[in-house]
Amino acid sequence: MKTIIFFFILIFASFHLLAENGHKLWLRYKNTGTVNVVCQMNSATLTIAKEELQNGWRGKDGASFALTVKQDKEIKGDGFKISKNGIQANTELGILYGVYEILRRQYTGEAIDEEICNPSYERRILDHWDNLNGTIERGYAGLSIFWRSGKDSLVVTKKDRELWKEYARADASIGINGAVLDNVNASPLILTTGCLNRVKAIAEVLRPYGIKTYLAINFASPSVIGGLKTSDPFDPEVKKWWKDKAKEIYSMIPDFGGFLVKANSEGQPGPQNFGRTHDDGANMIADALKPFGGIVMWRAFVYSPNDKDRARQAYNEFMLLDGKFRDNVIIQVKNGPVDFQPREPFNPLFGAMKKTSVMPELQVTQEYLGQAIHLVFLATMWKEFLQSDTYQEGKGSTVARCTDGSIYPQKYTAIAGVANIGLDTNWCGHPFAQANWYAFGRLAWNNNLTSEKIADEWLKLTFKPTASEDKEMLTALSVEWNLNFLKPVKQMMLNSREAAVNYMMPLGLHHIFAANDHYGPGPWWGPKGVRRDWTPPYYHQADTNGIGFDRTRTGSNALSQYHEPLASLFNDVKTCPEVYLLWFHHLPWDYKMKSERTLWDALCYHYEAGLQKVREFQKVWDKVERYVDPERFALVQSKLRQQCVNAQLWKDACLLYFQQFSRKPIPYDIERPVHDLKDIIKNDMERLRRRD
């Protein structure tokens, strides 16, 4: 009998796996019964909620399910209360979020008991670094879903609206409620009438799903497109220009969220161009938005070529201004003090700014983690960051609690993720890159979720067989799928970020990428005429004496920006966590690690471990072929091969380059490099010449 069931399982599985290309993301809902949805109110949002339930219901056939908008003090914002018989929320959007929660639990098999689910952050925003010509800065999944080039670039088509609706549905299903539609390196043209009309059209599609639109703006817009002689925030005409522009935008988009600003950073204009400070610029724009309920997200990503340690500058500039910003200004801070590196300690601004609202900025697009080629699940990285203890208000003052309103009474709480979405059929380039979009939304809603739970949900929603006429057959298939697919692939996801750190930049090394593309290794790159803090040698500081950036009290003293006991912990090489060792210390090659290995040997073993782990991922994926549709299986398999090739290159390039300084042999039980360093460097230089 078991043989017969297994035979039918294979037949069913083969049939099920025919037509998947990843476009449906984790929303592969298909009902297995009917539901009577009871709701006394009507609106566009509630209509979506009803349709989602009816199209995806997998509960008791013929059940009645109530959707009730009713005030409850225990429910916060757009939170909701679920039970087996219905959903209660204070808002219509809360009902929609509750519907997605019910469907998620039905599909993943999680119990549905009476429970209140409140969001950790009020504003959960995706930042799209999309340019008005349709390209995407640090985009690895095709062109923009919002913008395109050509003479008809601003014409809104039926196809546009359909795609935006699919995008909005995906966002809403994981609780995302905001989207910045253009690049932080913003074009002033975004505020012209033609572009604003397109933004209005996008907002109309996103609105029923509860997603506010935001725009990244160029601080010099008044002089570039407004005809003014200056963009000085103290100039009365400039102030009036921004107030008039805000009034124009809100007349078109009443629920417009506000502006994201990158100012005085990497060549972008800002208030410092006019002898003013960040608060001067932010407050001027905040005043223009205030009457309409808009906010300003002012980025703290600033660094000067003259600063002796780039990691110090954001703290140095912004701590002096704590308490000087309007209450509708939020300082948007990258998770680490440098730039979205594979591993960084948390930015010391978190928790330190006590009088100003602060929001984390995470990077969903894998600029520094293999882009759309490497399989790297970022939930583990973000959890490491969110759970980091700042000690600002004593033990337990985690980054999460310092930013979600648990410790400091912020008027607004928010979190942003730099999106990894493009026009590729599967939206993200790599099927597993979808998991990072999903993970960002889930953590933005509930920063206490574990990486394991998020991975488990995503795999079940994205890959698990969804329908069968024979419940016994589906149950048997599910048991086998959980054991032979879910368990090994989930573990692969959970191990993937640490593997990437190992084969790229272990033990606190950072920013040693090849020039500009941030993909392959380039620890040697440092041509004359280029800012030192844009070159890898600035960060690894390798010489015959050792390796690492000295940020101790006798070095740049960057660790003094952390609250005690962290400052002392990081300063003492014996207590500094080894994952940050070379971030804070320059150490000799023969320094003894806790493992009793020398620093040089430890580096070698980390690079080897990372490479071997990716080879293991290849084996894991090959073994699950029969559980995955052919298109997605082949794509992931191809990506893993490319990842393995690149991991080998990282290992060989870094060990052979650093060996020139250490003058020590690579441990003999480690596989030998397969590349020559001179060939790696030559190929890298030729690639740069071709690109230029």
- Identify whether the C-beta of residue 147 lies closer than 8 Å to the C-beta of residue 132: yes
163, with CB counted inside 10 A (0-12, 13-18, 19+), is: middle
Residue 377: φ, ψ to 5°: -85, 120
- DSSP 8-state class, residue 310: G
Report how far apart, in Å, the C-alpha atoms of 116 and of each of 101, 112, 414 are.
Answer: 11, 11, 20
CA distance 416 to 156: 27
Given the residues 115, 237, 244, 266, select the one marked as catalytic.
Answer: 266
Q: Is 78 a catalytic residue?
A: no
Q: How far apart are CA 211 and CA 256, in angstroms?
A: 10
One-letter amino acid at 4 equals I
DSSP 3-state assignment of 247?
A: helix
| CA separation for the pair 614, 628 (Å, rounded) | 20
Spatial CB neighbours of 302, under 8 Å, sequence gap ≥ 6: 264, 265, 313, 314, 317
Q: N- to C-terminal Cα distance for the chain?
A: 66
CA neighbor of 382 nearest in space, from 301, 438, 310, 302? 438
Active-site residue, from 367, 384, 456, 533: 367
Beta strand pairing call for 295-299 and 258-261: parallel
Q: How many residues does the chain have?
A: 692
C-alpha to C-alpha distance for 416 and 436, rounded to whole angstroms: 13
Strand order in the sheet with 80-83: 35-39, 63-69, 86-89, 80-83, 115-117
Integer-rounded Cα radius of gyration of the chain: 26
Q: What's the sign of the alpha-carbon dihedral 301, 305, 310, 312?
A: negative
Whose structure tokens read 């309007």? 326
Catalytic residue at 204?
no
Long-range pairs for 660-665 at CB < 8 Å and ≥24 separation? 661/542, 661/543, 661/544, 661/547, 661/589, 662/547, 662/589, 662/600, 663/544, 663/589, 664/589, 664/590, 664/598, 664/600, 664/601
Cβ neighbours of residue 485 under 8 Å, at least 6 residues apart? 459, 463, 624, 627, 628
> Which among 309, 339, 456, 601 is annotated as catalytic?
339
The answer to whether 245 and 211 have CB atoms below 8 angstroms apart is: no
Q: How far is 384 from 345, CA to CA, in rounded Å?
A: 9
To the query of whether residue 669 is one of the catalytic residues in this protein, the response is no
Active site residues: 266, 339, 367
